Amino acid sequence: MRLCQLTHLIVTMPVTTRTNTTRLQPVKALKEQVVALDAALLVAITSTEVGAVHRLRTTTRRVQAHLELLELLGHGDHPMRLPEHRSEAQAVMQRLRRIRRAAGEVRDLDVQTSMIALDAPQKAAVHSGSTGDAVRRQAKKLRKHLEAQREGEAKKLVAVLKDEEQDLAASLRELEQTIKPARRRALAPAALLEHAEEFFVARVKPVLRAQRPRKGEDEHTQLQRRLERLDEDTLHAIRKAAKLCRYMVEIAPEGTPVRAAAERFEAVQEAGGHWHDWLLLQQLSMNFHGRKAELTHRYEIHTNAALADYRLRLSELLPKLTA
């Protein structure tokens, strides 16, 4: 039985009360993402082309974001009354995690081969034996290696999808039945944004506070120094948190202040993703060609520039959320 047989398509429309105040229905928003996930799974099982894998990976994240949102809504000063669904949600998250990881391996290779093609010098633009020519040759070899690796990862992805499809459908059916009584529960956009921002701050503040402030340091300098000391894993985790927050608040209507907040989270997500893509490519080049290769050095420069931009985006967003 496919996922689309478990739930019907419900277009997420904001609810407008008599006072003309827009209210959002998070359970319906989750259902919409489940339908999108079903479509993405169907396509990816039959074709692992670039767009299909990207959509699959994105929809798994969106479903995760909406499950995280439901968990947040059950807490706080004014919690939304929701049926207990933690075990059902965890079962869904576990199966989504396996699918997302398999799709992520393929998606990363797609991004990396594309970046290599766009960044490598053209043969006609470099002289034989020059540094540019060395970069071009190394890039060509690395891209060919990654394309071959992609074929193997795509086959693994299809195997994972076929293995998980039925169990995921069952887990989603159980979750849907459990939270069905709350399908009409709604909240104001401002409350949605507050929950999303608290989710993000809860993941960032602890790692920033772990570093002691220096005497006489102003807040801006202190934040910059703390951001510079964050390790790769922490920066990656912050990027993923920004992505989830973006997906949470995107259920708000276009043109609203809450939707504008989604754009701020997206800016951080995109900057962090750009840095992470270059970092992975640098590591791949180092493993394939060696640390001293011209291509590795080229990607290191790109990585450092992207990291500086990511830190800048964070330094612009964080003061607004932690004030």
User: Is there a single domain that holds both residue 308 and residue 201?
Assistant: yes
Q: What is the pTM of this model?
A: 0.86
Check residue 322 and give its pLDDT. Answer: 61
User: Is there a single domain that holds both residue 171 and residue 199?
Assistant: no
Residue 254 makes CB contacts below 8 A (sequence gap 6+) with: none
Please state the rounded mean pLDDT for residues 8-12: 30
109-137 per-position pLDDT tens digit: 999 999 999 998 888 788 888 888 999 99
Of residues 214 and 303, the one with the higher pLDDT is: 303
Number of domains the chain is built from: 2
Check residue 292 and give its pLDDT. Answer: 95
Please state the rounded mean pLDDT for residues 37-49: 95
131-177 per-position pLDDT tens digit: 889 999 999 999 999 999 999 999 999 999 999 999 999 999 999 99
User: Is there a single domain that holds both residue 163 and residue 279?
Assistant: no
270-287 per-position pLDDT tens digit: 999 999 999 999 999 999
User: Is there a single domain that holds both residue 166 and residue 194?
Assistant: no
What DSSP string describes 16-29? Answer: E-TT--EEB-HHHH
User: Is there a single domain that holds both residue 227 and residue 308?
Assistant: yes
Check residue 171 and give its pLDDT. Answer: 96
Instruction: Examine the pLDDT at 1 and tell me if it is beyond 90.
Output: no
Contact 161, 99 (CB under 8 A): yes
CA angle 193, 195, 201 (to 5 degrees): 100
User: Is there a single domain that holds both residue 194 and residue 313?
Assistant: yes
Which residue segment(s) compose the domain that 37 sits in? 1-187
Measured in degrees and rounded to the nearest 5, phi and psi for residue 187 equal: -145, 160
56-74 per-position pLDDT tens digit: 999 999 999 999 999 998 8
User: Is there a single domain that holds both residue 38 and residue 166?
Assistant: yes
List alpha helices for 210-293, DSSP H: 219-228, 232-249, 257-289
Check residue 21 and give its pLDDT. Answer: 59
User: Is there a single domain that holds both residue 238 and residue 280?
Assistant: yes
Check residue 14 and give its pLDDT. Answer: 47
User: Is there a single domain that holds both residue 10 and residue 109?
Assistant: yes
175-213 per-position pLDDT tens digit: 999 999 998 899 889 889 999 999 999 988 888 877 676
Please state the rounded mean pLDDT for residues 73-88: 86
User: Is there a single domain that holds both residue 233 and residue 182?
Assistant: no
Q: What is the DSSP letter of 130?
A: S
User: Is there a single domain that holds both residue 168 and residue 40?
Assistant: yes
Instruction: Examine the pLDDT at 320 and tell me if it is beyond 80.
Output: no
Report the candidate in 131, 139, 101 with the shortest Cα–Cα distance to residue 281: 139
Chain CA centroid to CA 168, Å: 20
User: Is there a single domain that holds both residue 128 and residue 26?
Assistant: yes
* Bridge partners of residue 15, in order along the sequence: 23
Check residue 20 and give its pLDDT. Answer: 40
